[in-house]
Structure 1
Amino acid sequence: MEIKWIYPRWGSAQLDWKVFLAKVKSHGYHGVEIDLPLNNSKNEIISILREFGLEFVGQHWETQTDDFTAHKKQYETHLRNLAEAKPLLINSHTGRDFFTTAQNLELIQLAQSIETETGIPIAHETHRSRFPFAAHICKSYLKQLTHLKLTSDLSHWCCVAESLLENQQKAVAMAIKHTFHIHARVGSSQSPQVIDPRNAIYSKELEVFKSWWKAMLENAKSSGRKWITITPEYGPVPYALRHPQTDEIMGDQWDINQFIKQQIEESWHQE
């Protein structure tokens, strides 16, 4: 099974597209994870990606309104806009944590219809404020929807549960089985991102997350998948913290993401 390494545009939006993509490609990434504007400038972005021979994962995060009717309309618009560009898959921030289960299920069904119609897989990110914001909540949806694809970022669940999910292993196991795309970031019981996972004080958190990532890869391989995408996603400010005296960012996003990529590769290829 091939691992397709994907790098996030998040945190590098200040870079010119060609500078950004050249850097990404030179470090062995297969593509990037990006949102796309709802206008013709998206064609320019896709053209540059093709110029560099890079693939992409489409990311939807924009739909925020609490008016469900407007939310559903905007959600469909963004998903179709991404699907039209033919990404490897769409990673979707779907629904709201305060929507009813019926409302969130309506959005999930809409996404499934768009996936069936376009042939573009849509995975739903386990992200705070969205429908699968917590382990026990997502488990209830997974019990109902055997087809559900997840973008698994369990750092959010750790933060919500104030634990490393030691007492929610059934939910973790279900998420692993439904993982289609991986967001690799090390979280803790108190935050969705540790200050620097290279520091030994976070060795426990790093080992737990490495075990989850490896299990996700093993499940994908045993399921017969030819490839799986992984986005190392140590984030910029405000996920990264600033030193209170110097205002210096405590953690280099690029370097830490290369560390995460290396850790997963070494773990996966161990005998």
Structure 2
Amino acid sequence: MASKNLRLIKTLWGIEEPISASLFLDIRNEGYHGVEVIRLAYLFDRDNLVNSLNAAGLSLVCQIHTSGGYLDNGEYIYCGSDSVEDHKQDFRTQLLEAKDLLSQVDMGGFINVHAGVDAWTLDESVDFLSFALDEIEELRKSEKDLIVTIETHRQRLFGSPFQARELISKLHSIEKIQSLKLNADLSHWYCACERVFNKEKEPDTNWWPGLLKSVADRCHYIHARFGWAQGPQMADPSAKECEVDREVQLETWKILITEQLDRDDKRDVYCCPEYGPSPYLATLPHSQEPVASLTKAVKYTKNSLEKLYSEL
């Protein structure tokens, strides 16, 4: 295997402290290489974000939400349209915006995209993806190191494994597949399909190994969150009752990481132990008190990733 580093990214999702050099120095001292932010982090206070990143020596992952990423009467709009054309034009706008922002970050970074709409037909999905991949490749003519990943995320194009399988097959047939890079956030698939896929057990033995290999071949980033059949994140992944699903997911991450280590390139392996606050983190009725510690879930998963990587 090639000698590559594990680069841990910390999401600012769930962190209430304002962006500052002090916050980012603390994150670096926790052992993180960079942070991942949504558009609001640079839409209103770009200079502060850039200065804080550079002061702390952190890289940046820009998370784009096509046809979203803005406030409307104080409400965050995640996906404000189902029009393919709206998503195309917004992708172009946000791609250029993020590319320009990354050029100001001393440690660089990359772009991660929640792309499109799950309700689109296959033809609509392929139309958008073809456009998006062409836009990325056009930028790479002048920014050859630019990495843009498409996330496997519910409500979006790769919202389920079976959508992903159809899209990957179609991109193969039109010779667009070489440009596709994925962020594997497989916790979304587990709750969408109400099971953690296990290549050793029915009903997943016939289809999951092949699709996982296809995802691994295109995986350039991992949102490593322990999910389960009824939700995208375990409240406390260290719990004994989580052990079986946890071990299956560690084996899946091992496959994704090993594929990246075996590639004949110099890119390190990027993982984010991404957990979110309520409603991702379960809360008690009425009081809305969290049932577990978000900080502890992130730390446990970070430690699990580091241990897994050291064993590889």
> Secondary structure in 2 aligned to 1:6?
strand
Q: Distance in 2 between matches of 1:256 and 1:224?
A: 33
1:121 alignment counterpart: 147
Aligned-residue offset at 1:90: 0.8
Show CA shifts across 1:25-76 (max 9, x none): 1101011001234757323311221111110111112521113322221222
Whether the aligned pair in 2 keeps the contact of 1:176 and 1:212 (CA below 8 Å) is no
Show CA shifts across 1:147-203 (max 9, x none): 211100111111111111231412222112211100010111111112210101010
1:159 alignment counterpart: 191
The amino acid across from 2:6 in the alignment is I
Change over 3 Å in CA distance of 1:115–1:70 after alignment to 2: closer
Change over 3 Å in CA distance of 1:75–1:26 after alignment to 2: same
Change over 3 Å in CA distance of 1:85–1:110 after alignment to 2: farther
1:25 alignment counterpart: 28
Aligned-residue offset at 1:10: 0.9
Show CA shifts across 1:57-99 (max 9, x none): 1111252111332222122211211111225221100110012
RMSD: 1.9
Aligned-residue offset at 1:105: 2.1
2:73 alignment counterpart: none
Task: Give runs of aligned pairs for residues 198-209 of structure 1, distance below 5 A.
Answer: 198-209=238-249
* Alignment of 1:260 onto 2:305: no
**How many residues are paired up?**
271
Q: Which runs of 5+ in 1 are unaligned?
A: none
1:247 alignment counterpart: 288
* Alignment of 1:105 onto 2:126: yes
Q: Which runs of 5+ in 2 are unaligned?
A: 68-78, 103-107, 199-203
> Secondary structure in 2 aligned to 1:85?
helix
Specify the structure having the higher radius of gyration (Cα): 2
2:100 alignment counterpart: 84
Change over 3 Å in CA distance of 1:225–1:200 after alignment to 2: farther
Show CA shifts across 1:124-149 (max 9, x none): 00000100111111012222243211
Aligned-residue offset at 1:258: 1.4
Change over 3 Å in CA distance of 1:254–1:165 after alignment to 2: same
The amino acid across from 1:156 in the alignment is H
1:177 alignment counterpart: 217
> Secondary structure in 2 aligned to 1:92?
strand
2:7 alignment counterpart: 4
TM-score normalised to structure 1 length: 0.93
Q: Distance in 2 between matches of 1:107 and 1:62?
A: 11
2:54 alignment counterpart: 50
Q: Distance in 2 between matches of 1:206 and 1:246?
A: 29
> Secondary structure in 2 aligned to 1:89?
strand
Match of 1:135 among 144, 151, 161: 161
Q: Distance in 1 between matches of 2:25 and 2:130?
A: 38
Task: Give runs of aligned pairs for residues 182-261 of structure 1, distance below 5 A.
Answer: 182-226=222-266, 227-244=268-285, 246-261=287-302
Q: Distance in 2 between matches of 1:156 and 1:39?
A: 27
Aligned-residue offset at 1:224: 2.4
Match of 1:73 among 89, 113, 120: 89
> Secondary structure in 2 aligned to 1:175?
helix
Q: Distance in 2 between matches of 1:111 and 1:51?
A: 33
Q: Distance in 1 between matches of 2:93 and 2:155?
A: 20
Q: Distance in 1 between matches of 2:19 and 2:306?
A: 29
Aligned-residue offset at 1:245: 6.3
Change over 3 Å in CA distance of 1:250–1:19 after alignment to 2: farther
Whether the aligned pair in 1 keeps the contact of 2:19 and 2:49 (CA below 8 Å) is no
Q: Distance in 2 between matches of 1:102 and 1:89?
A: 28
